[in-house]
A and B are shown apart, each in its own frame.
Chain A
Amino acid sequence: DTEVTQTPKHLVMGMTNKKSLKCEQHMGHRAMYWYKQKAKKPPELMFVYSYEKLSINESVPSRFSPECPNSSLLNLHLHALQPEDSALYLCASSQFPGTGGGSYNEQFFGPGTRLTVL
């Protein structure tokens, strides 16, 4: 299994809703990432989990709350979002988050969840 899966594919939510995005990989990767991508812009890193611990939070507003229940799963809990949070949310994983070279640093991306906040 060499893919990262994300659910749902599309999500429409109101500003008062609470929803969660899910990401799963079974490649034994120990680093998982959340990115946000607006149209015609590059992905922007939001969070990095390293060995199931949050290692990087790119000053993301608290209305986004990540969770890593185990080494295969990564969630992003959403609450009280704003319309400007509408974007494609990408999950990625890599074998190791550390300083190793070679293909270990390759990030595999999921297909993304397209989020619309009304």
Chain B
Amino acid sequence: GQNIDQPTEMTATEGAIVQINCTYQTSGFNGLFWYQQHAGEAPTFLSYNVLDGLEEKGRFSSFLSRSKGYSYLLLKELQMKDSASYLCAVRGRDGGFKTIFGAGTRLFVKA
């Protein structure tokens, strides 16, 4: 089966940097996604990692270590609009390939 763990909530200050961690266990690892979801809205794609290392995209970066079953999402220069849930999702093989979402980390950005 697949298992994904991430912190339930985090609070950070506007302009700061925050790191949201995700650990996972899966068979047949085929990629890890980070999605942002504002309350009442659909998830939107942030990043995808399938190889070890850091992927940078503007203020957001995502890191993956497949040997450790570990990823993090790094948000720089936090803005109030970054207050949202951040979902770590892992694509693995359990029968066919499928993507399983973690419970999400609710990030509160304060002034």
Chain A interface (Cβ within 8 Å of chain B)? 41-45, 48, 50, 55-56, 58, 90, 97-99, 101-103, 105-112
Contacts and interface: CB of A to CB of B under 8 A. Distances in A.
A99 B97 contact: yes
Given A48-B98, A56-B95, A103-B48, A90 B42 contact: yes
B102 A42 contact: yes
B72 interface: no
A105 B31 contact: yes
A55 B98 CA distance: 10
B103 interface: yes
B42 A109 contact: yes
Contact of B87 (A42, A55, A103, A112): A42
A68 to B, nearest CB: 16
A16 B100 CA distance: 32
A42 B101 contact: yes
25 contacts: A41-B103, A42-B101, A42-B104, A45-B99, A48-B98, A55-B96, A56-B95, A56-B96, A90-B42, A90-B43, A99-B30, A99-B97, A101-B30, A101-B31, A105-B30, A105-B31, A105-B33, A105-B48, A105-B91, A105-B99, A106-B33, A107-B33, A109-B42, A109-B43, A111-B42
Contacts of B43: 43, 90, 109
Given A43-B43, A105-B30, 12 more contacts: A42-B87, A42-B102, A45-B98, A58-B98, A99-B30, A101-B30, A105-B31, A105-B48, A105-B91, A106-B33, A111-B41, A112-B41
B71 to A, nearest CB: 15
Contacts of B102: 42
B44 interface: yes
A103 B30 CA distance: 12
